[in-house]
Chain A
Amino acid sequence: MKNKHDSILKGEGPILKIEGLTVDFLSNDEPVRAVDNVSFNVNRGETLVILGESGSGKSVSTSTVMDLVDCPPGDIVGGSCLFDGTELSRLDAEGRRNINGRRIAMIFQDPLAYLNPVYTVGRQIAEVFESHDAAHGKQARANAIELLRRVGIPEPESRVDFYPHQFSGGQRQRVMIAMAIALKPDILIADEPTTALDVSVQAQILDLLRDLQSETGMALVMITHDLEVAASMADRIIVMNGGKIVESGLAQEVFSNPQHPYTRRLIAALPHGEAAETSHRRSTDLTGATLLKVQHLTKEYVLASGAFAGKRTFKAVDDVSFEVRKGETLGIVGESGSGKSSIARILLRLNDPSFGEAIYAGENIFEMSGKCLVAFRRKVQMVFQDPYGSMNPRVNVRAIISEPWAIHRDLLPRSKWKDRVAELLDLVGLRPEHAERYPHQFSGGQRQRIAIARALASQPELIVCDEAVSALDVSIQAQVIDLLADLRTRLGLSYIFITHDLPIVRHFADRILVMKQGKVVEEGPTSALFSAPRHEYTQSLLKAVPKPKWLMSTEAPPAVPGAPRPERTRNGSVAG
Chain B
Amino acid sequence: MTIISPDIKPAAAPGASRVLLAYLRRDRLALAAAIFLALFVMAAILGPWLVGDAASRLGLRQRNLAPFSLEHSWIYFLGADTLGRPLLARLIVGAQSTLGIAAAAVFSSMLIGGTLGLIAGYSERWYSHMILRLADVVMSFPSLLLALIVLYTLGPSITNLVIVLAITRMPIYLRTARAEVLELRERMFVSAARSMGAGPARILLKHIAPLVLPTLITIAAIDFATVILSESALSFLGLGIQPPDFTWGAMVANGRGYLSTAWWIAFWPGLAIMLTTLSLNILSNWARTVADPQQRWRLQTLRKAAR
Determine chain B's interface SS by DSSP, over half rule: loop
- A389–B293 contact, CB under 8 A? no
User: Which stretch in B102-110, B227-235, B299-307 binds the other chain?
Assistant: B299-307
Kindly provide the distance from the CB of A457 to the nearest chain B CB, expressed in whole angstroms: 9
CB-CB under 8 A from A69, the residues of chain B are 1
Partner of B197, one of A32, A34, A374, A391: A374
Q: Within residues 253 to 300 of chain B, which ones have a CB less than 8 A from any CB in chain A? A: 291-294, 297, 300
Surface stretch bound by A, among B5-13, B51-59, B74-82, B152-160? B5-13
Give CA–CA (A68, B1) in the complex, Å: 10
Task: Give the residue name and chain of the B residue nearest to A440 (CB).
Answer: B294
In the assembled complex, the CB of A173 is this many whole angstroms from the nearest CB of chain B, namely: 19
Cα distance A392–B291 in the bound complex, in angstroms: 13
Which A residues lie within 8 Å of B301 (CB)?
A: 28
Q: How far apart are the CA atoms of A526 and B92 in the complex, in Å?
A: 81
A446 to B2, CA, bound (A): 12
Contact B197 A59 (CB under 8 A): no
Tell whether, in the assembled complex, residue B3 and residue A392 are in contact, meaning their CB atoms are under 8 Å apart: no
Residue among B3, B10, B297, B307 having the largest count of chain A Cβ atoms under 10 Å: B3
Which of A31, A78, A349, A393 is the one whose CB lies under 8 Å from B303? A31
A394 touches B293 (CB 8 A): yes
Which residues in A have their C-beta under 8 angstroms from that of B291? 394
Minimum C-beta distance from A28 to chain B (A): 4
Asked whether A491 is an interface residue with its Cβ less than 8 Å from the other chain, the reply is no
Does residue A165 face the partner (Cβ distance < 8 Å to B)?
A: no
Q: Are A30 and B1 in contact (CB under 8 A)?
A: no
A373 (CB) vs chain B CBs: closest residue: B197
Count residues on chain A whose CB falls below 8 Å from chain B CBs: 60
- Are A403 and B4 interface neighbours, CB within 8 A? no
Contact yes or no, A24 B3, CB < 8 A? no
Across the two chains, which residue of chain A brings its CB closest to B300? A28
Given contacts A32-B5, A381-B195, contact A389 B211 (CB under 8 A): no
Q: Are B197 and A389 in contact (CB-based, < 8 A)?
A: no
Min CB gap B38→A, angstroms: 26
Q: Are B191 and A384 in contact, with the CB atoms below 8 A?
A: yes
The residues of A that contact B207 with a CB separation of less than 8 Å are 392
As a 0/1 sequence over residues 29 to 45 of chain A, the CB contacts with chain B under 8 angstroms (1 = contact) are 11111100000000000
Cβ-neighbour of A391 out of B9, B192, B300, B302 (below 8 A): B192
**Pair B193/A393 contact, Cβ less than 8 Å:** no
How would residues 152 to 171 of chain B score, 1 for a CB under 8 Å from any chain A CB and 0 otherwise? 00000000000000000000
Instruction: Report the Cα distance A436→B197, complex, angstroms.
Output: 24
A408, B3: Cβ atoms under 8 Å?
no
Instruction: Report chain A residues within 8 Å CB of B202.
Output: 406-407
Question: Would A393 and B294 be within 8 Å (CB), given that A378-B197, A443-B2 are in contact?
Answer: yes
B8–A59 CB distance below 8 A: no
Residue of A nearest to B306 (CB): A77
Residue B194 lies at the interface, judged by CB distance under 8 Å to chain A: yes
Closest CB in chain A relative to B266 CB, distance in Å: 44
CA distance A437 to B8 in the complex (A): 8
Within the complex, the shortest CB–CB distance from A464 to chain B, in Å, comes to 9
- Taking the complex as formed, is B16 at the interface, i.e. its CB lies under 8 A from any CB of chain A? no
Q: Please tell me if the beta carbons of A382 and B307 are within 8 angstroms of each other in the complex.
A: no
Residue A545 lies at the interface, judged by CB distance under 8 Å to chain B: no
* Cβ of B238 under 8 Å from chain A: no
Contact A441 B197 (CB under 8 A): no
Q: Does A27 contact B (CB under 8 A)?
A: yes
User: Which A residues lie within 8 Å of B5 (CB)?
Assistant: 25, 27, 29, 32, 437, 441
Are A27 and B300 in contact, CB atoms less than 8 angstroms apart? yes
In the complex, A60 has a CB within 8 A of chain B: yes
Name 19 extra pairs, CB < 8 A, besides A382-B192, A437-B5: A26-B302, A27-B300, A28-B297, A32-B5, A77-B304, A350-B195, A378-B197, A381-B195, A384-B191, A386-B188, A390-B188, A390-B191, A392-B207, A394-B293, A396-B293, A407-B196, A407-B199, A438-B294, A441-B4
Can you name 15 A-B residue pairings with CB atoms under 8 Å?
Answer: A26-B304, A34-B4, A59-B1, A73-B3, A374-B197, A382-B195, A392-B206, A394-B291, A404-B197, A407-B193, A408-B197, A437-B8, A440-B293, A441-B4, A442-B4
- Identify the A interface with B (CB < 8 A): 24-34, 54-55, 59-60, 63, 68-69, 72-73, 75, 77-78, 345, 348-350, 373-374, 377-378, 380-382, 384, 386, 389-394, 396, 403-404, 406-408, 433, 436-438, 440-444, 446, 454, 458
CB-based closest 9 A-B pairs: A377-B197, A26-B302, A28-B300, A389-B188, A438-B293, A390-B188, A390-B192, A348-B195, A32-B5
